[in-house]
Every structure is written in structure tokens, then in C-alpha cells.
Structure 1
Amino acid sequence: MDQSPLGLLAQLEAARNNLSRSEARVADYVLSAPQSVLELSIEALSTAAGVSEPTVARFCKSVGFSGWKDFKIQMARSLGGGIPIVHQDVRADDPIGVAAAKVVDRSVSALIALRDRLDSGILKSAVGILTRAARIEFYGQGSSGIVALDAQHKFFRLGIPTVAYSDPHVHAMSAALLGPSDVVVAISAGGRTLDLIRSVEIARAAGAQVIGITTGGSPLTRHCGVTLSTDVHDDETMYASMTSRLTHLAIIDILAVLVALERGPEQIRSLERGKKSVREKRSAT
């Protein structure tokens, strides 16, 4: 879909010719009265646009949203003058300032979408599993391997035996040695990496629990007990800004904070002892 920095209305204008006739009627109504649409239910909009409620639902999915509620939230944000929810891919002829703004807009939009779409119930389940873990292993390859290392850096400070592996041979061997009290966090932007999926299968066969951080509905999710879906699509041009990696890092931050809170006051004291241990290594000026 063509996208524009002008906001959601520009996105709808660009997408209109690719919609079905009935979906285009919904787009036309939204474009003619964007502010009033925010006050409508899906039933009221379908009546106003002269289409069925399922058509409105299909329209929302066609323009990139999970449903009518999601669409209205993003419409309100776009009309309110906040962070734009749409962005353009970086072009070779973009001035430096424009290219930089596009990269930042894409990153901010991805983080806002993550905030709005995170399932608190699934998040609670993941936090419970991690809090009870005797050992946590983070698996990822390529850029996801970098996220796994960041996760290991955050979680070892919580006093949980933690390791990160990005070599498929190593995480496959390690997975075979896990047990029912251990947890694997498998990180993958697309959720289709065969080596990672195989290691997850090995870990589950050994009795370990598996948490996935990946795209919803991907092959990896079928092998995870709990999946935290990001559903962020990177710029597929050569100027990719890797926004999926940023959302994965944000999820790791969220999990680390929530696990620390779940583990109680003693965890806070433990973190403070860790901070004190490195203060002497800093310059006094």
C-alpha cells in the first residue's frame, strides 16, 4: 500500500483504488467526515455508508488494521496531531533530514502500535512463566541474536541463571539439556527460521516451556506455549530500518520490569546491590 506522511487520511486516499466497490464506499464516507466517524459504532457506520457490518470489518483489514476499534484509535491519533501512524519508505533521493525523519517516524509508529496491541493476558502468562523459571535461555539468529544478547544482559541482573545463544548448533544442543523448570524465549522477526524452530521443538521435547516473540500466526508460534506477537512489518527496501528489532527490544524491557516487580522487594534490593558494584568503576568527574 502506498503511504504518506500526511496521516491516515492520505493513506486511505492512496488505498482507495485497491479496495472493493463496497469497501471504497466506506473509505469515501470516512474521507468525507473523518471527525464524525470517531463517534460511530460499526453498525452506525455501515448504515451511514450503505454497506454491511462485515464490509466495514473487511475495509479495516484491507487498510492494515485488526478491526474497527483499532482503526478508530489510530484515526483519533492521526487527527489529533500526534505521532503519525503512517510513514514513507526511505528513498535514494531523500534529503538527509527527510530520510532521518522517516526512520524515526517508522520506529515511533511501531512502538505505539505495540503499546496499543499488546495482550495483557498473554503478557501476564509470560511474566508468570519467567518468574518461576530456574533457568532462562534466549535464542535468536541474525538481528534477533542481538535482541537475545540484550535480553540476557537484562535478565541475569534479576538473579536468574540466564544465557543467550545465536549459533543454531549451540542452541540445539543446549535445548536438549533443558528440563521442566527451564524456559526458552525464542525471538524471530518472521518466525520462519528452520533452525530456531527445530531448537524450540527439541526444548519442548525435553520438557521446557517456550515463549515466542515473533509475528503472530508464523510457523514458530505453533511450537510456543505463549506468544507475544509484534506484527510489525519492516521496510522491505534496501534502506530497512529494522523496526521489528526495536519492538522486540521493547518487549524484553517490558518483561524484565514486570518480572522484577513480580519477584518483590528483595529483587529491588538485589538490583541495587548490582548497581553499587559498578559505581567504583565510573569516573568521579
Structure 2
Amino acid sequence: MQQSGFARIKSLRDQLSGSDKKIADYILDHANSVQGLTIKGLADAVNVSTATISRFVKRIGFSSFREFSLSLTAVMQPDNAFFGEIENNDDTNAIVNKVFKGGENALSSTFNLIPTESWDTACAWIINARKLGFFGIGGSSIVALDGYHKFLRTPIDAEQHPDYDVQLMQAVRMRDTDVAIVVSHSGRNLDTLKITRQLKANNVKVIAITAYVNSTLAKLADLVLPSSAEEINIRSESMSSLLAQLAIIDSLFTLVGVHLGPDTLEIVDSIRQAIDHTRE
């Protein structure tokens, strides 16, 4: 399933300039109407030539304007839609298939968004950290807890708490030898941003996991591991983005676990033995 034009533009926007950036901004600012425009209509709206539009869509990975236009239509939804592409006449199989396809698309798009250098940097920071803190509010706390749960199986000293006040106190106590992983789908949650600013005031290295690379959280962070989803507007916590964020956590855990080798295996075996005693 190909990534939509909206998601592709959002992921590449920081790399665009000149006419390409002008076109990208227009499309994102007019998401509810742009899918109906012809190549000439879009060119007239942005005040560029049709050739410029054609080069733009190829530059962001589409073979033609038609393919690009269809990718926009595929993710359009009514303003009051909560379940995205789900239609009233969809049967059980169709609904489940769309949910799974959305998850598959978010995972493949996220994989393509994060360069190897970012994984290597994040891994090195975590391995050398005195303490690793996980932070997330609301739905993002699920990802933070998953990260904490996994990194308990490594030699890394990790911490996480679901309560905002406790998270803020933890941020106050962290210092420049520590690393924080801050999770927020929108990157705009005010409580999350307050925690992040406290971390930055303490010179803590901040790794942000967010679907919006131009958000305030992304700009505050030292490193961004973007998660991809097909939402055009932020209406609710993204189900597909959550899957992608959990995959990012899994990848970080696996990278760190492999690098630390025997030390990780020793802890994993000890935890497994302890848990086995609680089972029949």
C-alpha cells in the first residue's frame, strides 16, 4: 500500500525549497479541496506552471500527477469521520482489512522515514546514558510504558511513570548524562512540552517520537524518530501511528540489546526465571 501524498509531503517538507515548498504548503493547507483539482487547476492555484507540478510529484516519489492525485483521494474523509476510510456499507472483513492495511502502511512508511544514522545515534546515546527516561501523556503513555517494560530487560537504568506531576519531577532530577525518550503523536501536548522544556533546561538529550516533524516537540528535541500515519487533521489519537511508535520502541530495544550482548541475555534469563516461579 503506497504512502499517501499528504504523508509523503509531511515527511519530506523540511527538505523542500522554492516552488516545491510552495506547492507542498498549499496542498497541506487546502487538504479538504485539493484532491479535486486537475494538474492545471493546482498549478493555477499555486501560481506555477504545470511542468513545475509534474516535476514536484515525481520528486516526492510518484510516477505521475494522476497517481499522486489518487493517493490524495484515497485518504480523504468527511470532517465528522472518526474511523477514516471506513464506509457505512463495509462488512466485517472490509473493516478489519482496512485496519490492518492502515497498520501495514504506517509501519512501512515509518521504516522509510528514519535513516540508519538516526538509529545509530539513538542507540549510542542510550547505551552510554546514566539513566533513560520515558515520557508520554494520555495515549502516548502506552508507548512510554512499553519502552520502560522492554528496557527493564537490559542493563540500562530506565524509569517511567504515568502521572504527569511525577514525570515532571523525574525531568527535574535528570541531568546531562541522561537520555529522555519523549512520545507525542501531535508533538503539541502542553504537558509534554513543559516536561521537554524542563529536560532541555537540564541539558538532557531528548529523543522525540512524533508523527509531526514540524511540531514544537520535534523542534525542541535533539533527535526525532518520526512515526507515519495517514491523518490529515489531528482528530484523535492515531491507531496506526501508535503501532509505528511501538515498532520504533521495539527497534531501539533490539538494537541496544544486540549491542550489549551477554549482559542483556543474563538479565533476560534472570527475569524469565523469576517470572516462571509465578506460573503453574
TM-score, with length taken from structure 1: 0.70
CA distance in 2, matches of 1:206, 1:139: 15
2:230 maps to 1:233: yes
SS in 1 for 2:200: helix
Q: CA contact under 8 A between 2:134 and 2:180: conserved in structure 1?
A: yes
Gaps of 5+ in 2: 5-33, 44-48, 64-73, 76-83
- Classify the secondary structure of the residue corresponding to 1:195: helix
Q: Is the 8 A contact 2:154 2:268 kept in 1?
A: yes
Amino acid in structure 2 at the alignment position of 1:261: V
CA shift digits 1:147-167 (9 cap, x unpaired): 111111001111222122333
User: Percent of aligned pairs with the same residue?
Assistant: 25
Question: Pick from 52, 55, 71: which aligns with 2:53?
Answer: 55
Q: CA RMSD in A?
A: 3.2
Give deviations 1:238-278, integer Å, cap 9, x for gaps.
Answer: 89761111110000000000011122332223222222222
| Contact 1:234/1:242, CA 8 A, preserved across alignment | no
1:143-198 Cα offsets, whole Å, 9 max, x none, are 10111111110011112221223333222222111111111111000101111111
Aligned to 1:137: 133
8 Å contact 1:151–1:252 — kept in the other structure? Answer: yes
Q: 1:164 to 1:236 in 2, by over 3 A?
A: same
* Equivalent in 157, 161, 164 of residue 165 of structure 1: 161
Report 1 or 2 for greater relative contact order, CA contacts < 8 Å, sequence distance ≥ 6: 2
Q: Which has the larger radius of gyration?
A: 1
Separation in structure 2 between the aligned mates of residue 139 and residue 6 of structure 1, nearest angstrom:
31
Deviations 1:63-90 (A, max 9, x none): xxxx44x446xxxxxxxxxxxxx67611
In structure 2, relative to structure 1, the CA distance for the partners of 1:19 and 1:196 (3 Å cut) is farther
Tell me which of 19, 24, 37 is aligned to 1:18: 37
- With normalisation by structure 2, the TM-score equals 0.72
Of residues 233-242 and 248-257 in structure 1, the stretch that sits farther from structure 2 once superposed is: 233-242
Please name the residue that 1:245 is paired with.
242
Q: How does 1:1-285 map to 2 (within 5 A)?
A: 17-21=36-40, 52=51, 54-60=52-58, 67-68=59-60, 70-71=61-62, 89-214=85-210, 215-234=212-231, 242-283=239-280
Change (3 A) 1:132 1:240: closer
Paired residues in the alignment total 230
Q: Which runs of 5 or more residues in structure 1 are unaligned?
A: 9-14, 25-49, 61-66, 73-85
